[in-house]
Amino acid sequence: MHRPRRRAFLSPLLSGVVERVRRHHTRGMTIYAASETWGTLMFFVFIGLVLFVLGRVLDVPSEALSGYALIFLYMVLPMDNLLKAIPSINRTRIALERVDAATAGLLHQHADADAKAPEDDLAPARFDSLALAGVTHAYHREREDRSFTLGPIDFELRRGEIVFLIGGNGSGKTTLAKLLVGLYAPEGGQLLLNGRPVGDADRDGYRQLFSTVFSDFFLFDQLLGLGADLDHQAHAWLRELQLDRKVTVVGGQLSTTALSAGQRKRLALLVAYLEDRPVYVFDEWAADQDPAYKAIFYERLLPELRARGKTVLVITHDDRYFHIADRCVELDAGQLRARAGTASAAS
């Protein structure tokens, strides 16, 4: 698509990297070949010592010395193959150690999560409101020497309302959403559920209140963790999401996920609907939708969720639909403020 960019990438960027790899590979193989040659030379020196030195020092018959020499010569090829296999064996050992370490880490995290959050008590029994009280969070931005600080934030979500979170790129909207759903722990302030603080031991259970579709979501090809006998309900939602001609669900298995970006987001929305949790968080969900379905999302799907008593937080730039929300709150350089003409954003 862009010939000058292609040439600039191939030379000097890519060609420079290839040349450095070539030099390092040549140097490494030269050292390896020299060491292998030196080892073979020492082996033949050892045979010469046995034949011409050991026979003079010790009273050993020449027939015995010849036999030893033949045995050593037959050992040259197996020993050479063994030496050549050592680098591959070392690489395999290192790879297996990394796999074992990664597996052990995942199992350890899973065991800790199971110990802290029993299966029979995953989510709080009741949800009326959740709030961030003086919450702060700092992180380092790429290609910048300074850190970005979000907050202090005072923000509340109440049952059965739609809230739009707006603001410029890099203002901290996604970070705020991840603090709210418990993916990030606040560095300052408190996370409150029904007026009570959420501690580290409660965080996993607290996260079970939310169904989310972030902009960097991952889509499984199975309805994992949602129980059995959901096929009929899934097909109903597929019709609602206008995907019934492209995707089917049999035994909790999606027929395909090889769809456009907007259609994949609709599948992610399907999974969120099937989870049927009290709070929904959508991060720029409508950005990849065509105008017709964008209108369906804002004007029909969101009000339907509110009518079912769900709380919805939508990160969006679609100002033509701001009237759908009960409140619009705006993030500006890490600070939260009420949108003009809306209710206050502060708790």
Give tens-digit pLDDT for 16-66. Answer: 888 888 999 899 888 888 887 887 788 788 888 877 777 777 777 777 777
- Please report the pLDDT score of residue 339 as a whole number: 67
- Please report the pLDDT score of residue 65 as a whole number: 77
- Please report the pLDDT score of residue 313 as a whole number: 96
- Each residue of 85-120: pLDDT tens digit? 877 888 899 899 989 988 887 777 666 655 554 544
| The pLDDT of residue 184 is above 80 | yes
- Please report the pLDDT score of residue 202 as a whole number: 85
Residue closest to 138 by CA, chosen among 149, 154, 123, 125: 149
Across 2-6, 23-27, 125-129, least confident range: 2-6
- Please report the pLDDT score of residue 52 as a whole number: 79
- Please report the pLDDT score of residue 123 as a whole number: 58
Chain mean pLDDT for the chain: 84
Q: What is the mean pLDDT of residues 139-154?
A: 77
Tokens of 315: 């990160």
Q: What CATH class does 129-338 carry?
A: alpha beta
Q: What is the DSSP string of 268-322?
A: HHHHHHHH--SEEEEESGGGGS-HHHHHHIIIIIHHHHHHTT-EEEEE---GGGG
- Please report the pLDDT score of residue 106 as a whole number: 76
Q: What is the mean pLDDT of residues 171-200?
A: 91
| The pLDDT of residue 347 is above 50 | no
Q: What is the mean pLDDT of residues 136-155?
A: 80
CB 135 within 8 A of CB 220: no
Tokens of 68: 């030893």
Confidence label for 125 from pLDDT (cuts 50, 70 and 90): low
All residues at 6 or more sequence positions from 29 whose CB lies less than 8 Å from its CB, including other chains = none
- Please report the pLDDT score of residue 112 as a whole number: 62
- Please report the pLDDT score of residue 142 as a whole number: 64
Residue closest to 158 by CA, chosen among 183, 131, 135, 132: 131
| The pLDDT of residue 344 is above 50 | no
For tokens 């990849």, name the residue: 288
Q: What is the mean pLDDT of residues 153-181?
A: 92
Peptide bond into 78 cis (omega under 30): no
Q: What is the mean pLDDT of residues 175-188?
A: 92
pLDDT top residue among 140 and 230: 230
All residues at 6 or more sequence positions from 20 whose CB lies less than 8 Å from its CB, including other chains = none
- Each residue of 200-259: pLDDT tens digit? 888 888 988 999 999 888 888 888 887 767 888 899 999 989 898 999 988 888 899 899
| The pLDDT of residue 139 is above 90 | no
Question: CA-to-CA distance for 167 and 333, rounded, in angstroms?
Answer: 9
All residues at 6 or more sequence positions from 205 whose CB lies less than 8 Å from its CB, including other chains = 117, 121, 122, 123, 124
- Please report the pLDDT score of residue 343 as a whole number: 42
- Please report the pLDDT score of residue 212 as a whole number: 93
pLDDT top residue among 133 and 221: 133
Confidence label for 341 from pLDDT (cuts 50, 70 and 90): very low
- Please report the pLDDT score of residue 124 as a whole number: 65
All residues at 6 or more sequence positions from 39 whose CB lies less than 8 Å from its CB, including other chains = 83
Q: Domain-by-domain residue ranges, the chain? A: 3-116, 129-338
